[in-house]
A and B are shown apart, each in its own frame.
Chain A
Amino acid sequence: EVQLLESGGDLVQPGGSLRLSCAASGFTFSSFAMSWVRQAPGKGLEWVSGITGSGGSTYYADSVKGRFTISRDNSKNTLYLQMNSLRAEDTAVYYCAKFRHYINTPLDYWGQGTLVTVSS
C-alpha cells in the first residue's frame, strides 16, 4: 500500500525558513517522480514543485522559484521541500504527491498534508 507522510509544518515568521519532509513507503521510491502541491486556507490547489526519480531535474512554480528547493534522498525514501524567505502568502497545507510514473504523468497518490503558517 502506497503511503506518503508529510511532516515539518509549523508556524514561522515572515522571512523565515522551514523544511518539509515526506516519508514514502509501499513503492519503489526512486522509480517515480514526486511533487509538492499546496492549498491556502479555503482556496484551490496550487502546484509548487516537481522532481524526477533520480533527482536530476527539478521544476518550480514561478511563485516559489528562487525561494524553495525540492530534493529527495532515495536511500531514505524521503522527499523534501526547503522553503526560504517565507511570505504570508505561502501559508497553506502542503501535500506531497507521487507522479504515476515520470514527471509528465498525473498525481496518483497524495499524503494528508502538513500545515505551514507564516505570520508574525
Chain B
Amino acid sequence: EIVLTQSPGTLSLSPGERATLSCRASQSFSSSYLAWYQQKPGQAPRLLIYGASSRATGIPDRFSGSGSGTDFTLTISRLEPEDFAVYYCQQYDTSPHTFGQGTKLEIK
C-alpha cells in the first residue's frame, strides 16, 4: 500500500501568515489522485483540494495545492482564524486509499 507521510506534525503560526504543509508518498502516483481534507474538532472532514491542485466547491482561493510524483504541498496564503484545524492528505490512486497521519495547524 502507498504510505503517506505528512510534515510537520504540528505547525504553529499566526493569522495572516502563510502555511505550507507537506505530504510525501512511499511510491510515485499520478497527481490526479491526491486530495487534501480539513477537519475541525468534533466535525467530519471536509474536502479542500482534489487532483493535487483543484479546489473543491466553496473552498476559498487562499487554499492551493501543488506537487507531483511523491511530493505534494498544501499552501494557505494568508491564515484566517477559521483555518486552524487538522489537515490530511489522501491518495485515491490504488486501494487502500490511504491517508497521511495529519498536520495540526495551531495558533501561535
Contact = CB atoms under 8 A, between A and B. Distances in A.
Contact of B35 (A46, A59, A106): A106
A45 B88 contact: yes
Interface string B83-108: 00010101011011111111000000
B95 A105 contact: no
Interface string B21-63: 0000000000001010101000111110010000011000000
How many chain B residues sit at the interface, stated as a range, is: 20 to 34
A18 B29 CA distance: 35
A44 B4 CA distance: 12
Interface residues of A, number: 23
A8 interface: no
Contacts of A95: 44-45
A104 B44 contact: no
A27 interface: no
B35 to A, nearest CB: 4
A47 B1 CA distance: 12
Interface string A69-110: 000000000000000000000000001000010011111101
A62 B102 contact: no
A50 B97 contact: yes
A108 B55 CA distance: 11
Q: Is the interface of B mostly helix, strand, loop or mixed?
A: loop
B46 to A, nearest CB: 7
A45 B99 contact: yes
Considering residues A59, A100, A106, which has the most beta carbons from chain B within 10 angstroms of its beta carbon? A106
A113 B86 CA distance: 17
B95 A59 contact: yes
B99 A46 contact: yes
Contacts of A112: 43-44
A32 interface: no
A49 to B, nearest CB: 9
Contacts of B102: 44-45
A90 to B, nearest CB: 16
Given A62-B1, A106-B50, A110-B45, A44 B99 contact: yes
Contact of B97 (A44, A47, A108, A110): A47
